[in-house]
């Protein structure tokens, strides 16, 4: 697979506390680093995959740099504690955009995702721009052709633009079109969308697609019960959930190293509250984190925020 790269051992590094106690483990000591893309060798694992691509961001006229995120996020995760209460994770490497067409590298990545799911491995994906979602999502829809897939997007933007070619702003329109062409149902819930960040044309498209929206100003503890009811009703309609997390959904005070920082945003605390409900459904089979841009970071502050969110899933996920 010429687009595949394994992960250099220097990426997974951290503090070794084994002299203190044999159970004083950190992620760099417990994540299995695969020498090749061979998910069949790792039953009962969660597959960690990176998508080194921000071509969709460039095509969407955003600020590039997210292609460097997968390994930067691994480094931020490496020193976090592993409490051993979850499925083991196998790092199956990165798929790298190296000048091919965007749809070509997305199709390669989708095939990797499909293979993982056909073998029973949930996928935890590190992007990349939000074009990652079309690649990851397509792989999921291809893996489960006879089941109802629910897409939940933590995002300030609906990402349902219409364009001649795919970008970071089109993934859910593409997934919708792909599902319809395969006679599959398409269920999409966006949590944290910004009304000033989405045009009237996009809202019309959302209506046509049957998109469900929970706005950013609705995402607060006083509204948790109502949101829980909305999320529960959405999950009841589907068999499998794919959750995609665009880090620009967080307020810029928590996440500034993204192409389009949010002036309002939804806090990590609120999003993780919603995530716990989603994980408790036992329908969550795929998660990705996208749009972190290391070139815009300072002292790895945004990387640490993203890693804390990723760790929460690593620690809590039971599907």
DSSP-assigned letters across all residues of 169-237 = T-HHHHHHHHHHHTT---EEEEEEE-GGGS-HHHHHHHHHHT-EEEEGGG-SGGGHHHHHHHHHHHHHT
**157 marked as part of a ligand binding site:** yes
Task: Using CB atoms within 10 Å of the CB of residue 255, give its burial: 0 to 12 exposed, 13 to 18 middle, 19+ buried.
Answer: buried
Tell the residue number behind the tokens 């690649």, with chain if given.
135
**Distance of alpha carbon 213 from alpha carbon 172, whole angstroms:** 13
State the angle between helix axes of 171-181 and 200-209 in degrees (0 to 180), rounded to the nearest 10: 30
**Distance of alpha carbon 38 from alpha carbon 116, whole angstroms:** 9
Q: How many CB atoms lie within 10 A of CB 142?
A: 18
**246 marked as part of a ligand binding site:** yes
**Distance of alpha carbon 208 from alpha carbon 142, whole angstroms:** 24
**Distance of alpha carbon 314 from alpha carbon 88, whole angstroms:** 9
**273 marked as part of a ligand binding site:** no
**155 marked as part of a ligand binding site:** yes
Residues at the binding site are 130, 155, 157, 159, 246, 248
Residues at the binding site for Mn(2+) are 130, 155, 157, 159, 246, 248
């Amino acid at each position: 697979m010429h687009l595949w790269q394994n992960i250099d051992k220097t990426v997974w590094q951290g503090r070794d506390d084994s002299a203190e106690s044999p159970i004083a483990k950190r992620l760099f000591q417990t994540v299995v680093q695969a020498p090749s893309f061979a998910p069949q060798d790792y039953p009962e694992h969660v597959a960690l995959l990176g998508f080194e691509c921000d071509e969709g961001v460039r095509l969407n006229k955003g600020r590039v740099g997210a292609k460097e995120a997968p390994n930067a996020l691994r480094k931020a995760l490496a020193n976090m504690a592993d409490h051993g209460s979850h499925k083991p994770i196998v790092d199956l490497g990165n798929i790298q955009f190296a000048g091919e067409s965007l749809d070509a590298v997305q199709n390669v990545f989708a095939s990797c995702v499909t293979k993982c799911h056909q073998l029973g491995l949930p996928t935890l994906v590190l992007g990349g721009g939000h074009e990652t979602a079309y690649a990851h999502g397509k792989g999921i829809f291809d893996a489960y052709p006879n089941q109802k897939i629910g897409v939940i997007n933590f995002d300030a933007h609906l990402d349902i633009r219409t364009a001649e070619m795919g970008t970071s702003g089109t993934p859910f329109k593409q997934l919708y079109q792909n599902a319809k062409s395969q006679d599959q149902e398409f269920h999409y819930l966006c949590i944290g969308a910004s009304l000033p960040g989405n045009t009237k044309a996009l809202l019309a498209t959302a209506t046509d697609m049957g998109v469900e929206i929970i706005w950013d100003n609705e995402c607060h503890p006083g509204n948790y019960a109502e949101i829980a009811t909305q999320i529960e009703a959405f999950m009841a309609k589907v068999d499998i959930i794919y959750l995609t997390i665009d880090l620009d959904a967080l307020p810029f005070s928590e996440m500034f190293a993204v192409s389009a920082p949010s002036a309002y945003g939804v806090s990590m605390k609120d999003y993780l509250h919603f995530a716990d409900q989603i994980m408790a459904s036992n329908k969550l089979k795929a998660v990705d984190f996208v749009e972190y841009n290391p070139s815009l970071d300072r002292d790895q502050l945004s990387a640490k925020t993203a890693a804390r969110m990723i760790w929460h899933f690593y620690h809590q996920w039971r599907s």
